[in-house]
Amino acid sequence: MEQKIYLNGEFVSRKDAKVSVYDHGLLYGDGVFEGLRTYNGRIFKLQEHMDRLYKSAKYICLDIPLTKEKLTVAIIKTARINGQKDCYIRVVVTRGEGDLGLAPEKCKNATVFIIIDKIKLYPEKLCKEGIEIITVPTQRNSSQNLEPQVKSLNYLNNILANIEAKNAGFKEAIMLNREGFVTECTADNIFIIEDDILKTPSTHMGLLGGITRGVVMEIAKKMSIEAKEETISRYNLFGAQECFLTGTAAEIIPIVKIDGRTIGNGKVGSITNKIRKAFKKFVDADGTPYL
């Protein structure tokens, strides 16, 4: 079946899905987005992603030209038309076409598009054995610069950190804030287990409030694993019993080494494995149907 992309209210083929070179999403990274996925014909945590999208848009004073309900219907429709049971959904809203100046008020119509694509599945080996990551020099944006809770089209901060990790031969980077505390990775949130307690930094440290992060906190509480937001330093990372990352695409990725220090016994931890299993069950039972 040919891929159909929703673009400003119409369904078009990939080759016709084009936006202007004057679009401020392209010229200035002026816009917001969401990355969702589906499991077996159901969109995972659709409402939560929509809430985050509209909050991101509000923060940057961008009026999404559709109500939340109408955009939700458009997403469901786009997923249905594309007909894949397990897919990735990218929803993007840009400031729209303007002139070459920054002035957002010159952009009269926001650009809205929805892409349904294949979900990138992480190799099972990586999830079984865990990965090694590093902290990098590029700091996460502070809230006073560009609020990291806003999922904006400005990802250069994270891309730079990603490049630093790749240059050093690693797949992911842990980004610290200006005070040197742990925030998140370049496209995933981070958790540690310390004193048998599941810990993740608060969004006030400067990080995206991940949907998967929220689900993991919920699952942990249901499993009677104590879970809380806490300030995490590199000292806490290196001394942790276990560590893992969470994200829509990545789901739950175990970390076995950070900055050359082995985490726990260097094997994927038992609590991480328990949470991974519970997460799989959770996603099977949840979601908005579209087929």
Catalytic residues: 151
User: Closer to ligand PXG at the Cβ: 37 or 264?
Assistant: 37
Shortest CB 226 distance to ligand PXG, Å: 21
Out of 208, 219, 237, 240, which residue is the one contacting ligand PXG (CB under 6 A)?
A: 208
Environment class of 281 (CB within 10 Å of its CB; exposed 0-12, middle 13-18, buried 19+): exposed
Binding of ligand PXG by 213 (CB under 6 A): yes
Chain centre to alpha carbon of residue 153: 12
| Candidates 64-72, 196-204, 242-250, 262-270; binding stretch for ligand PXG (CB under 6 A) | 242-250
Which one-letter amino acid corresponds to residue 101? G
Largest CA distance in the chain: 57
* Binding track, positions 110-149, relative to ligand PXG; x by CB under 6 A: ----------------------------------------
Binding of ligand PXG by 212 (CB under 6 A): yes
Per the rule left: phi > 0, alpha: psi between -120 and 50, beta: everything else, 147 is beta
- Cα–Cα dist 17/284, whole Å: 32
Binding of ligand PXG by 251 (CB under 6 A): no
Binding of ligand PXG by 35 (CB under 6 A): yes
**Beta carbons within 8 Å of 54's beta carbon, 6+ residues apart:** 64, 68
Per rule CB under 6 A, count of chain residues that contact ligand PXG: 15
User: Closer to ligand PXG at the Cβ: 138 or 246?
Assistant: 246
C-alpha dist (Å) from residue 277 to 98, 211, 283: 48, 18, 10
C-alpha dist (Å) from residue 110 to 66, 97, 102, 145: 10, 7, 15, 24
Shortest CB 98 distance to ligand PXG, Å: 26
Binding of ligand PXG by 249 (CB under 6 A): yes
* Binding track, positions 175-194, relative to ligand PXG; x by CB under 6 A: ---------x--xxx-----
- Cα–Cα dist 22/107, whole Å: 10
Which residues are near ligand PXG by CB under 6 A?
35, 158, 184, 187-189, 208, 210-213, 246-249
